[in-house]
Structure 1
Amino acid sequence: MGTLYLYQRVYNEALSVFKKSYNYDILSNDSIGQIYSLRDIGRTFTGYNNADSSLFYYENAYKQAREIKNKHLTTIISGELASLYTQLGMYSQAEEAIRISMQAKEKRNLASRISTIADLYFKMNNQDSAYYYYHKLLEFDNYYTKQGGYEGLSNICKQNHLYKEALDYVDLYLAYTDSIKKQTDTENIRKMQSLYNYQLREKENQKLKDINAKQEAKVIGLIFILILSITSFLLYSQYTKRKREQKKEQQRRLQEIKERQYQKSIEFIEQNAKHIHFLETQLQVAQSEKDELKQELLEAQKELIENTNKQIEAEQKEQTLLESNLKRSDIYIHFHQAAKNQTNITAAEWNDLQAMIDQTYGMFTKRLYALFPQISEQELRICLLLKISISATGIANLTLRSKQAVTSSRKKLYEKTHGQQGGPEKWDQFIQAF
């Protein structure tokens, strides 16, 4: 059931069913079933574009496969983990996972594994290896595999300014794309022809039923309307349910963000300091009572909290230094000057700013996409400019939009992510703390 839901992209239903499957695997002590269920839950979260949760379940599945020493399952999970690691930019983990996956004896998913290796090396800028594995894809008797191979080879050639070779590969990529399309079209034509023949037979039968024709047409019409109504209702119910689930998941992520921010805040340090003072009082009592065991326990608790505070303070200091470095950077100064002078910004400069902000604020862009996957490029740029304290007027100048449009975008971003009404200044505050 979960697999059927997953293939139809009804992810909330698939997730619910896979979790039930996992619970019954535990009840029946089915270790292999547990691994498959964990993998399937990971696949479902991939459909949700929730990479963090997907990674959690995949890694648990891999761990259990290793624990029961099932090489077949280990290689299967490793192959899918490699693809996820590559997507997340975790290249060293991806290399290790694909190495384990390639130990599989069966060749059924070999093309998929080679495709993952090729993409991994391409993203790591290891062009020689990527070129080799994209070429290996051409050896498979599969249109889709060859299409992916030629696309990868064309990208490598473009990066190396080998435009003639790139065009040759693009031509081959397009040829296989056309072949895939023709194959799909042929299947569609076959279905249409079958439908046409069916309609002819129905027409002949209809001539033999002239007396009942009008009545049957009415009945069929009513049934069609009923089915259409029920289908529409079910589709709408599924849509609203998915929306509720998405909203619930978004609220959960917001709560996690708030908790992480609190755990790195001065307020949290002060709360810990109060707790340390309380423990010191308790420690004095324990010393007076000569309760050595209690003293050791209190000392350990106190040391743990003190170390936590030191770590938070160290992270705050590091963040301050990173922000200071950002404000002294050429790209930061350039954007502030461009905002005042209404200078046009190139795509490369936008990329440089995004990279600098990601470096300063711990993958800012990736975390923002995880919170709100539907964010547009224009909205992302507004967030980047807010992060470096560009005014609303400056943002309007740099994004070539009116100040009113920028204000409206900030307001909508807050409402879409928080599920409640709020002014643009609330989004500004959220981004500054994000």
Structure 2
Amino acid sequence: MKKLLFLFLILFFFFSCGRGKAPISESSRIIPDSFAIGLNLYNKGRAVYHHSNNMDSMLFYMQLAEGFFIRDGHKAQVNRYIASVYSARGESDEAIRYFLRASRTAEEWQYSFICQGIADAYTAAGRFREGVSGLDSIRKNMDNRQMVPYYHLAKGNLWAGINEYDSASTYYRIASMSLNRWVAAEASRRLKLLYSSLGKDSCSFYSALAANEHLVNELRREEGVESRTKYEKAKLENELNRLKIDKQRREIWLLSLGLCFVVAFAASYIVWQRRKRQMYKQLWREQSLRLSQTEQLLQQSEELSILREKESQLRESLFRRMKSFHKIPSLEKEEESAEEGNDNQNRRIALSNEEWEDIRQTVDGSYDKFSVRLLEAFPGLSMKDVYFCCLVKINVSIKDLSDIYCISRTSISRKKQRMKRDKLGLTENNETLDDFLRRF
């Protein structure tokens, strides 16, 4: 039983500790990392161009890398690099084509480089009006409003490049009021330089103050956002910790409940075994007691039978001393009685008063003053009745009684009935006079 309890505990701990561990599904299996392959091809293309200045090999590796990349931002980075290479080589048309291609899938942080790269490419080619149109076409691809400030800054730079200072200052002011901190600072700096070059020192000063105030407000807003983010993060961590603690508490509660169940089961089993052993011990004691009592009763019965045998022998020896012993055949042994019964049929047995008295005294000596107790219990009995009861007490046969009283056996039976009913007052039909006197 101890082994079973130990096995039950091991299974309980196994299931309680293994709870929550999901099997490995097909979706969580190791798959090839396409990003790693694309990044390797991208770096290899850059290395090939850097060492050999081979455009065809570089374009081959970059196109392969773009095919392996999944995110649009990674693909835009590939096209932006190709455009920057063409721009450095002075091939403005190819550079502009790849810059426009990159703008279609670019992310927010990439638009600053793309817009400025397009503006520089058109400026280097001297095609300022086309540069404005190109930036406007990029503006149509900007679905997120956070990307627009880069467009305004680049367009302001383009207008400043062709000496359109009013348009440049307009776009710089719009960019300086954006929520993008870097764009706002750069636009304010360029606007201040523009006003300084035009001799508008007061406008440059106020523009610098406005840019500084805007920058301070933006920094405060960013700090507030950062603080709020930290607060939400801490709140989320606290909630996760609370959920973990609740889960641990539930697991501890279930484990404690299981342990209590095991302890209760073990205690119940131990108590049951102890009571079972006590019951077996009690049954063994009772059986031992019964056996000892039975043995004692058998011994007492044996002793009683021995005593009775001795008593009958003593009574027989006592009866043999009676003067009338040999006159009454039923008091002698069965063999002698049978022989005399065959020789002496219907003989008369005469007893003197002395012999009658001897019979009474012998019966009193053998049966604890039988006649005295009989007279005390039934005072209406005569001495003849007492003598008759003494003969019945010592089992004198009906034949001998008929010989003693010189009447028939039927008359002896009637005499017993009258003695029982009239003299002793016994009315029970299931008990004869012989039975009553034997136990009296």
Scaled by the length of structure 1, the TM-score of the pair is: 0.31
TM value normalised by structure 2: 0.31
Work out which of the two has the higher radius of gyration on C-alpha atoms and give 1 or 2.
2
